[in-house]
Amino acid sequence: MKIIGTFAETRALATGAVGLVPTMGFLHEGHVSLMERARRVCDTLVASLYVNPTQFDERGDFDRYPRDLDRDAAIAAAAGVDILFAPDDDEMYPNHPVTAVSLPALTDRMEGAHRPGHFEGVATVVAKLLAGIQPQTAFFGRKDAQQLAVISSMAADLSFPVDIVGGSIVREHDGLALSSRNIFIENRDAACTLSSALMTAADAYERGVVDGAELESLVVETVKGADVEYVELADARTTERLVSLDRPAFLAIAARVGSVRLIDNVFFSGSPLAADRGTNLDAPSLLYGQGDA
Ligand code: PAF
């Protein structure tokens, strides 16, 4: 695996069908599952590693975001990545850019409403990665379900010749959705109530409950010890709030547990609609140490 800092060199080395897994590093099995999936269908697998300052709405969150290039390089190499694209700020944002990508219709709710400017930062940096690396396929986790909708629409609207693929959530053995920020969680029991609340709602859907407000209430009532910011049943493509679970959708939650802000969701897709609850690991994830091996 090569670690490369420029778009030009990455493009020069990436041949055949190029797959891209964009990340902000501090990799875990959620990223690895996307890399392994990409590896199976691509000739050259590029993973990007860049903690993008423009998508952080809180300076403190950006400053404390975990960073460890050696650890990430070892995990990416083991997952079959050919090129780890790790640019610096000058490569990503030369000359004080005046261009930004925004999708107000998809970002005025949920994460967009609670994190001003976040999705403009995400859409812009992903557009730059797609333009600069020119992959045929790019892979994103479904944990950031609204982000996946934003990126899919952005890529289609701007005519990027790329397939955007979403991968299922990977969870710790106790159900907590993997996130690089999990290492800061102090009250694990409270954090785990987010996923158990979503699973309670997925159980209810499987018993025939399709009313959006009822599913949302079930989640709100089941979460304990967390400050809930929102719970919403949203159309998977448009992110509009749904009255009834009658099309591809995700039931999303955002909550603060102590100083950590967590998001999670259960995705409903296919025909007939089925809940994608994600996959639980058997043992603690790479976030808790084995990545150093
Ligand atoms: O999901 C993430 O890690 C980031 O939002 C992404 C897509 C890499 C853009 O910085």
Q: Return d(Cα 262, Cα 255) in angstroms, integer.
A: 5
Question: Is residue 125 within 6 Å of ligand 1 at its C-beta?
Answer: yes
Write the pLDDT tens digit of every residue in 220-262. Answer: 999 999 999 999 999 999 999 999 999 999 999 999 999 999 9
Options 31, 114, 118, 173, the catalytic residue: 31
Superfamily of domain 2-167: HUPs (3.40.50.620)
pLDDT of residue 180: 95
Residue-averaged pLDDT of the chain: 97
Which CATH superfamily includes the segment(s) 180-288?
A: Pantoate-beta-alanine ligase, C-terminal domain (3.30.1300.10)
Full-model pTM: 0.97
Asked whether 22 lines ligand 1 (CB < 6 A), one says yes
Sign of the C-alpha dihedral, residues 124, 126, 127, 131?
positive
Does the beta carbon of 122 lie inside 6 Å of ligand 1? Answer: yes
Judged against a pLDDT cut of 60, whether residue 292 lies above it is answered with no
pLDDT at position 34 over 80: yes
Residue 32: what pLDDT? 98
Closest residue CA from atom 8 of ligand 1: 23
Distance 187 CA to ligand 1 centre (A): 25
> Strands 18-23 and 163-167, how do they pair?
unpaired
Residue 96 binned pLDDT confidence (cut-offs 50, 70, 90): confident
| Sequence spans of domains, the chain | 2-167, 180-288
CA nearest ligand 1 atom 9, residue: 122
Distances 95 to 9, 92, 98, 125 between C-alpha atoms, Å: 20, 10, 9, 15
Q: How many CB atoms lie within 10 A of CB 121?
A: 19
**Is 81 close to ligand 1, i.e. is its CB under 6 Å away?**
no
232 lines ligand 1 (CB under 6 A): no
What is the separation, in whole angstroms, between the first and last Cα of the chain?
17
Find the 274 Cα to ligand 1 centroid distance in Å.
26
* Distance from Cα 44 to the centre of ligand 1, integer Å: 20
pLDDT, tens digit (0-9, with 9 covering 90-100), for 271-289: 999 999 999 999 999 999 8
Distance 271 CA to ligand 1 centre (A): 29
Residue nearest to atom 2 of ligand 1 (CA): 23
- pLDDT for residue 290: 63
Indicate if ligand 1 lies below 6 Å from the C-beta of 126. yes
Maximum separation of any 2 CA atoms in the chain, in Å: 56
pLDDT for 95: 87
Ligand 1 close to Cβ of residue 124 (< 6 A): no
Is residue 29 over pLDDT 60? Answer: yes
pLDDT at 262 (0 to 100): 98
What are the pLDDT digits (tens) for 53-68?
A: 999 999 999 999 999 9
CA of 92 to the centre of ligand 1 (A): 14
Q: Which atom of ligand 1 is nearest to the CA of 24?
A: 3
Mind listing the pLDDT tens digit for each residue in 180-227?
Answer: 999 999 999 999 999 999 999 999 999 999 999 999 999 999 999 999
The answer to which of 5-9, 95-99, 217-221, 276-280 has the lowest mean pLDDT is: 95-99
Which pLDDT score, from 0 to 100, does residue 293 have? 38
The answer to whether residue 173 is catalytic is no
